[in-house]
Structure formats: C-alpha cells, structure tokens
Chain A
Amino acid sequence: MRAKRRARDEWIHWARKKPTQALTSLVGLFLIVYLLLPVWHWAVTDANFLGSDRSACVGGGACWVFVRERFHQFLFGFYPADAYWRPLLTVAIGALSIGLLFVSRLGVLRLLIFVALPFIAWLILEGSLLGLPPVATDQWGGLLLTLIISVTGIAVSLPLGIFLALGRRSRLPLIRWLSVAFIELWRGVPLITVLFMASVMLPFFMPLGVEVDKLLRVLIGVTLFTSAYMAEVVRGGLQSIAKGQYEAAAALNLTSFQTMRLVILPQALRKVIPGIVNTFIGLFKDTSLVLIVGMFDLLGMVQTASTDPEWLGYSLEGYIFAGAMFWIFCFAMSRYSLRLERQLAYSSVERKQLT
C-alpha cells in the first residue's frame, strides 16, 4: 500500500517537474489508444468466434471461425487426420529437446540432440521404417513443415558454418579456396533461386531412375544457404579473439585442435550469439518461401485456405494468425539467445549490461 502511494507520488513529482514531458507522454498515450481501439473492436468485441461456416460471420468484425475451422490444416497441412498423433509426438520430442537446452549442466551434449532430431522426426513422420502406414513428404505441411525445415536448417547449418569459417582461415590454400568459393557462391544467390534449382533443375541432372525426395532437396538447399551466412557470422567471432589467446594455448602445448575447441571457439561463439540467433530467425521466416516450389508451410496453408470459395474474403484473419505464430517463435528464439548470453557472461557486471 505504502509502496503504491510512493510510486504515485513519484509520478506526480515527475509531472510537476517536467510538464512538457508529461504532456507529450499523455498525448502519445492518447494517440496509441485512439489508433488501437478500432483494431481492438475489429479483433475482439465485434468478432465472431463460434460457428462452423461463413454463415456464422455476422458481427462485422473479424471472423475467427475461419482460423478455427482450418486450424488443423494450418498446423499439419494435408497430413492424414487419423495420424495426427505422429506429428504431435514429433513436436513433443522436439519440445523435450528444446527443454533440455535449458539444462546448462549438459554442456555441449544438449546440442547433439539437435543433430539427431531431424532423423527421429523423419522416422516417425514418414513411418514406413517403423511399420506405420507411410505418409509421403508432399502431404506434410503447415506449421509442421515450417518447423521441420527451420529446425533441420538450424541444427545442421551451425556446425557446417563453423567448419566453413575455420576452413576459410585454414593455412592450406586448397581448403581456404574451397571454403571461400562455397560461401561466396551460396551467399551470392537468392534463396528463391536455390529453391528453384533444388525443385526444378536438380531432377534434370540426376541419373535416370534416381529420385531424391523434394523435401530433402529443399532441406539441403536451405541448409547450405544458411550455413554460408553462419560461416561469416562465426568468422567475425574468430577474428575478435586476440592473438595472445592462441599463444598462451600454444605455450601450454595444447594442440591446434584442442586450442580451437577449448579456448578459441567457446569465446568466439559466445561473442556472436546475437548474430547466430539473427541468422536462425532469418531462416525461420525464409522457410515461407518454399510455397513457390509447391510446398505448403504455415503461410502457404493459410494462403491456400483463404482462396477456398467458402472462405473468400477472410484472408486477413488467416494472415494475422500466421504472423502471430511466426512472431511467437522468433521472439522465443530471441529471448533464449539473451538468456544464453547472460548465462555465459564472465562477470556480474557484464551480466547487468544485457537487457
């Protein structure tokens, strides 16, 4: 009670001392409410939530019935409805491994789980190796597909990027040239081109009768594309490590591999966590480009559903839903990166500077 009163007194004190500041703040606050009020009306007070078809959309506001009716498709694409437990199980395993990311005691081990994850996911979702009715990859879609592409991309592009960054700094000219060529090639091409190449051009170059799954081709394309960016982020971190660190490690007789693993990389990667997560977030959003090669991720499913004659005119609700989903995942990644930085900070002073 007393604390509350003191806080109020402080506000009043501030308003008296800085009247212009107080006034502009009030006007700003008013403008925000004034502008957001119609949005609130549209999205909540005038909106329809119940019903099963467009006849339920009578309120004049948003019609969330559309999102509710197509929710399962937004999540799973055209995956057979009677096998929804399989994607759900996969996501549960994925969530569990993400939970393990918070167990700092596991150290680097927790990252290994992510390397295994894509294979486990494929086993369950495709199913034929486990004796389940097979579901072809072109039926996978929605948020499920978005997650598959982004998690695979994230899990594989980081180690690949680290190798490329080390390769670019190698003393052996051949390795250095190959790394530079790889990085510059993939960074110089738009992702759309990569996806087109993967889905349209690549089959022409394959020997007759050999067919590589389209999803796999897209996955490889996206991963290599991202790893080129990752390599440059990691290289920035490597360059920020002082020469003295290499010399101290050498004087202690650590091998160059040990020096990299124990001394240089832990420091370099820590310094570029924001850049790494930035790349992850970019990748996550870029997955929606797979629509142009005929794959239906979350955004693709929303778009497809809103061209359905039954729901014409309600695409905005769908897009808002898709946008909100993307935002939630990206925001979570950004928060995790901050947590990781704080956890790895060397001192409490440094920790306080991170907000």
Chain B
Amino acid sequence: MNESPNLAIACRGLEKWFDTFQALRGIDLDVKSGERIVICGPSGSGKSTLIRCFNGLEHHDAGSLVVAGTQLGTHGEGVEAVRRDVGMVFQQFNLFPHLTILENLCLAPLWVQKRPKKDIEDQAMEYLRRVKIPEQAHKYPAQLSGGQQQRVAIARALCMNPRIMLFDEPTSALDPEMIKEVLDVMSELAASGMTMVCVTHEMGFARQVADRVVFMDKGEIVEAAPPEEFFNRPQSERTKLFLAQVLQHT
C-alpha cells in the first residue's frame, strides 16, 4: 500500500448505492492512528452506512477504501483481514442471547484466534473489570440492563485486540440514565489511545473526547473540524442549522 503507515482509515471518493438511492456521494476522509472521530448528522445522512463500510458490513460501489493497511474491494475483498483489526459496537448491542456474558466475550477469540482458553478467559475478565461489570460474567444478556449490555458489547469487541474501534450510535437505544456509564467507558478507551470512529448524537461527548467532528448530510461530508472550531465557529449553514436543533435542549 502506498498510504502512509500511520493512517488507520483512508477513504477516497467513496460512493454507495442502495438500488436507486445514493447513500454516499464521494466521501473523502482520513483517520490517523490514535485519532478520535465523531460523525454526526441528521438521520438518513449516510453516517451509519459510512461506518459500516469501514469494516465491510456494507460494500462500497466506487472509490477507494484502505482500513488498517488493507484495501477493501467492492465485493468484500480483504474484509477478513480488516475485521481482524477492527472492532464494532452496535446500536442494538447484538449480544448473543443464548450465551453467558463470559461466553459472549470468549466466543470469537476461541474460534477465530484459537488462543488457549485460559488466556482468553483471563483477558475477558480483565476487560469486564475495565467496563466495571466483572460480577455479571455468568449471567445471560437478558438479565442485564441496557447500559450493562452495551458495556459488555464494548468488552466483547476489545477481546479481539482491535486497533480501531467503530461505534454505531452506541447510546441511541439506551434509557437516559444509562447513557453516562457507556460514555464513561468510551472516554476511558479514548484516553488509552485507541483509534475510534463514533457515530453519535452525544454532543457533550464529541466536545470532550473527539479530535475531530465530522458533519454529514445527504451522503456528503459537509464540514470536518476540531470540536472547539466545529461547535463555536461552524462554517456552513447546514451545520449551523443542525447544531441549533441538536443543542437546543442542552
């Protein structure tokens, strides 16, 4: 690859179609190693589609996309190598309901990385301590609150030792009183130097944690700037309108 080695994600002219609807209209975005990016924008702006392209859950139709040093093809070429280095957290947690918390964490390391079971379980317990729920290890997901489930989902992704973490609206399905515990875990992760791309509406989180805030609308990146600049001196009218609507109640 001729991309510079400290780029975690390099994205050039990315386009994505769903039948006749164009979800991404030429996205250019570079994410440096260790950088924390927050992507925001109105619903239908393509932010989820973009982040799902980053680990090959969606395949782009045009443009070039290099993630963790591997070129992703339009038919999913390279997806396995990319996913080795990329973890993902979903809006609906997507824990495996038939497995205990510990089994959820250990499943992929056991079957994909094929490391010794003892190591995997020790590491899983370590991550559960980091997300502050080691005592829930032998419960089933249905027995946990939404906030706890989302923290388990973060720990599950971390157990694969990813270099990049993707968050797709991780707090949107949570009751308000549980949002903070998830954001706290994400902030700690950011402080540890993890490369993160978060789609979120939590503007407080963006302000405190992000290195750059990316605003998307109608499949395009409208504005990308450090949070201080983004929130205090937005350039485009669309950004100003969006911020006015989002920040109205905060």
Binding site for B on A (CB under 8 A): 242, 244-245, 247-248, 250-254, 258, 262-263, 266-267, 270, 344, 346-347, 349-350
17 new A-B contacts at CB < 8 Å, known A266-B98, A267-B97 = A244-B92, A244-B94, A247-B94, A248-B95, A250-B56, A250-B83, A251-B157, A253-B160, A254-B111, A263-B107, A267-B96, A267-B98, A344-B98, A346-B97, A346-B142, A347-B140, A347-B143
50-105 of chain B: CB within 8 A of chain A: 55-57, 80, 83-84, 86-88, 90, 92, 94-98
CA distance A250 to B107 in the complex (A): 12
Q: Are A244 and B98 in contact (CB under 8 A)?
A: no
Closest to A261 in B: B111
Closest to A245 in B: B94
User: Secondary structure of the B side of the interface?
Assistant: mixed
CA distance A248 to B101 in the complex (A): 15
CA distance A248 to B92 in the complex (A): 10
Shortest Cβ distance from residue B44 to the other chain A in the assembled complex, whole angstroms: 19
User: Secondary structure of the A side of the interface?
Assistant: helix
Closest to A348 in B: B143
Closest to B87 in A: A251
Shortest Cβ distance from residue A312 to the other chain B in the assembled complex, whole angstroms: 57
CA distance A254 to B88 in the complex (A): 13
Which 7 interchain pairs have the tightest Cβ spacing? A248-B94, A252-B108, A244-B94, A251-B88, A253-B83, A346-B140, A253-B112
| Chain B residues, Cβ within 8 Å of A248 | 88, 90, 94-96
CA distance A245 to B57 in the complex (A): 12
Q: Are B55 and A251 in contact (CB under 8 A)?
A: yes
Judged by a CB distance under 8 angstroms, whether B156 is at the interface is yes
A-B contact pairs, 16 of them (CB 8 A): A242-B94, A244-B90, A244-B92, A245-B94, A247-B57, A248-B94, A248-B96, A250-B83, A251-B57, A251-B90, A253-B83, A253-B84, A254-B111, A254-B112, A263-B96, A347-B142
CA distance A258 to B84 in the complex (A): 16
Shortest Cβ distance from residue A247 to the other chain B in the assembled complex, whole angstroms: 6
| Chain A residues, Cβ within 8 Å of B143 | 346-347
Pick the contact of B107: A244, A252, A349 (CB < 8 A): A252
CA distance A254 to B83 in the complex (A): 10
Binding site for A on B (CB under 8 A): 55-57, 80, 83-84, 86-88, 90, 92, 94-98, 107-108, 111-112, 140-143, 156-157, 160
CA distance A270 to B97 in the complex (A): 12
Q: Contacts A251-B87, A251-B157 known; A346 to B112 CB distance under 8 Å? A: no
CA distance A258 to B107 in the complex (A): 10
CA distance A250 to B80 in the complex (A): 9
Q: Are A245 and B140 in contact (CB under 8 A)?
A: no
Closest to A247 in B: B57
Q: Are A251 and B83 in contact (CB under 8 A)?
A: yes
Shortest Cβ distance from residue B175 to the other chain A in the assembled complex, whole angstroms: 19
Q: Are B98 and A258 in contact (CB under 8 A)?
A: no
Shortest Cβ distance from residue A244 to the other chain B in the assembled complex, whole angstroms: 4
Q: Contacts A252-B160, A347-B142, A350-B142 known; A258 to B97 CB distance under 8 Å? A: no
CA distance A248 to B56 in the complex (A): 12
CA distance A6 to B108 in the complex (A): 56
| Chain A residues, Cβ within 8 Å of B108 | 252-254
CA distance A32 to B90 in the complex (A): 59
| Chain A residues, Cβ within 8 Å of B83 | 250-253
Q: Are B111 and A346 in contact (CB under 8 A)?
A: no
CA distance A14 to B88 in the complex (A): 59
Q: Are B98 and A346 in contact (CB under 8 A)?
A: yes
Q: Are A270 and B80 in contact (CB under 8 A)?
A: no
| Chain B residues, Cβ within 8 Å of A270 | 98
Q: Are B111 and A258 in contact (CB under 8 A)?
A: yes
| Chain B residues, Cβ within 8 Å of A251 | 55, 57, 83, 86-88, 90, 157
CA distance A94 to B115 in the complex (A): 39
Q: Contacts A247-B57, A346-B98 known; A252 to B156 CB distance under 8 Å? A: yes
Shortest Cβ distance from residue A354 to the other chain B in the assembled complex, whole angstroms: 15
Q: Are A252 and B112 in contact (CB under 8 A)?
A: yes
CA distance A251 to B89 in the complex (A): 9
| Chain A residues, Cβ within 8 Å of B56 | 250
**Most chain A Cβ neighbours within 10 Å, of B98, B140, B141, B157:** B98
CA distance A137 to B141 in the complex (A): 52
Q: Contacts A250-B57, A251-B55, A267-B98 known; A262 to B107 CB distance under 8 Å? A: yes
| Chain B residues, Cβ within 8 Å of A254 | 107-108, 111-112
Q: Contacts A253-B112, A267-B97, A270-B98 known; A247 to B80 CB distance under 8 Å? A: no
CA distance A252 to B113 in the complex (A): 10
| Chain A residues, Cβ within 8 Å of B142 | 346-347, 349-350
Pick the contact of B80: A245, A253, A346, A347 (CB < 8 A): A253
Shortest Cβ distance from residue A300 to the other chain B in the assembled complex, whole angstroms: 43
Q: Are B96 and A245 in contact (CB under 8 A)?
A: yes
